[in-house]
């Protein structure tokens, strides 16, 4: 665990452009609030309910005195909405320095997205994967500029490590066209495993970027107020309540991943200090080794191939070359 206080330790963000999915609530809102105090050029607050997002953006602009907080309509339940959001962003901006894949749903009722994917997997993974693919050219252009330091920060969960909550073998991509193949908590863990596997591959695919994935802690936020219940949820809820932290505390790890110095190469057994691309972090800045399903390279490749095939069916352009 590292000492990190956003107000003190986030450096100047002058000139930087930032995009945060799920920025109207929970740790997404707290992330924008913290970043806005460090003079970014613009922060795009992404969410699906336009009026609610505008209300939160107005509140944050007044609180932080940052006029660069801009609402971007984004519904991760619809890949058409993802494509429209990316196109709108690219019409307005020629750089993107920090991309927070933060939005998510947890333990929601069994359902399918508009394109027919299991809802939690579709929103938490598929929608974010398409958004990242569409924005990758501008991320790479920004990295290539003098002083480029592009970060992609993926919000996952320790559920990705919890074997008892995952399908046998870890991934069950064939079931992701069904709404109710597993319990809602298992489907949540499955989607969080996908977040981790996706980040691992993205970091390898683009070594010039910093790509990290994290567990923010057990955060008291709106995401858990929308759960579908069930026995597992009922059993876990008292434990979660005992561990809850507020949204500002919950945002610290992703803020650290996005703004702390990147790790420098080390020799021998010396542990790296700073942000390591491809790594998984727990609060705050604690590097956690991959284990279980997250450590299986075959699952990394299986998810990457499946994701690319699915995105191509919906107009995904493929991954830009570095």
Task: Compute the distance between CA of residue 285 and CA of residue 203 in angstroms, rounded to an integer.
Answer: 18
Q: Are 13 and 36 in contact (CB under 8 A)?
A: no
Q: Are 50 and 26 in contact (CB under 8 A)?
A: no
Q: Phi and psi (nearest 5°) for 321?
A: -80, 140
- Helix ranges (H only) for 65-166 are 79-92, 119-121, 128-144
Q: Sign of the CA dihedral 265, 271, 277, 283?
A: negative
Closest C-alpha to 299, from 163, 193, 165, 206? 193
> Choosing from 16, 44, 117, 156, which is the catalytic residue?
156
Say whether 220 is catalytic. Answer: no
Strands 280-282 and 69-73: unpaired
3-state secondary structure of 294: helix
> Choosing from 16, 29, 192, 252, which is the catalytic residue?
192
Say whether 188 is catalytic. Answer: yes
Q: Are 227 and 242 in contact (CB under 8 A)?
A: no
Tokens of 41: 């050029």
Say whether 44 is catalytic. Answer: no
> Choosing from 44, 182, 188, 290, which is the catalytic residue?
188
End-to-end CA, the chain = 33
Q: What residues are labeled active site?
A: 156, 188, 192
């Amino acid at each position: 665990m590292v000492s990190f206080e956003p107000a003190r330790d986030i450096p100047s963000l002058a000139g930087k452009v930032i995009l945060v999915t799920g920025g109207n609530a929970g740790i997404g809102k707290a992330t924008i609030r913290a970043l806005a105090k460090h003079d970014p050029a613009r922060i795009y607050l992404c969410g699906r309910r336009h009026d609610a997002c505008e209300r939160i953006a107005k509140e944050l602009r007044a609180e932080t005195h940052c006029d660069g907080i801009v609402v971007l309509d984004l519904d991760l339940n619809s890949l058409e909405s993802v494509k429209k959001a990316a196109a709108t962003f690219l019409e307005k901006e020629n750089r993107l320095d920090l991309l927070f894949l933060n939005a998510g749903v947890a333990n929601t009722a069994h359902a399918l997205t508009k394109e027919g994917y299991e809802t939690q997997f579709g929103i938490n993974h598929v929608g974010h994967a398409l958004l990242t693919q569409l924005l990758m050219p501008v991320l790479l252009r920004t990295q290539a500029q003098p002083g480029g330091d592009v970060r992609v920060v993926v919000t996952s969960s320790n559920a990705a490590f919890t074997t008892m909550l995952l399908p046998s073998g870890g991934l069950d991509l064939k079931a992701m066209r069904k709404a109710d193949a597993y319990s809602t908590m298992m489907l949540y863990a499955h989607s969080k495993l996908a977040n981790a596997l996706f980040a691992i591959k993205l970091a390898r695919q683009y070594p010039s970027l910093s790509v990290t994935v994290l567990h923010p802690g057990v955060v008291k936020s709106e995401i858990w107020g929308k759960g579908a219940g069930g026995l597992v949820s009922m059993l876990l809820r008292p434990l979660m309540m005992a561990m809850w932290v507020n949204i500002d505390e919950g945002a610290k790890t992703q803020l650290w991943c996005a703004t702390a110095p990147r790790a420098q190469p080390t020799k021998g057994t010396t542990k790296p200090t700073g942000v390591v691309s491809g790594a998984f972090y727990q609060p705050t800045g604690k590097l956690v080794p991959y284990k279980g399903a997250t450590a299986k390279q075959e699952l990394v490749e299986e998810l990457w191939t499946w994701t690319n095939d699915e995105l191509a069916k919906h107009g995904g352009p493929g991954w830009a070359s570095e």
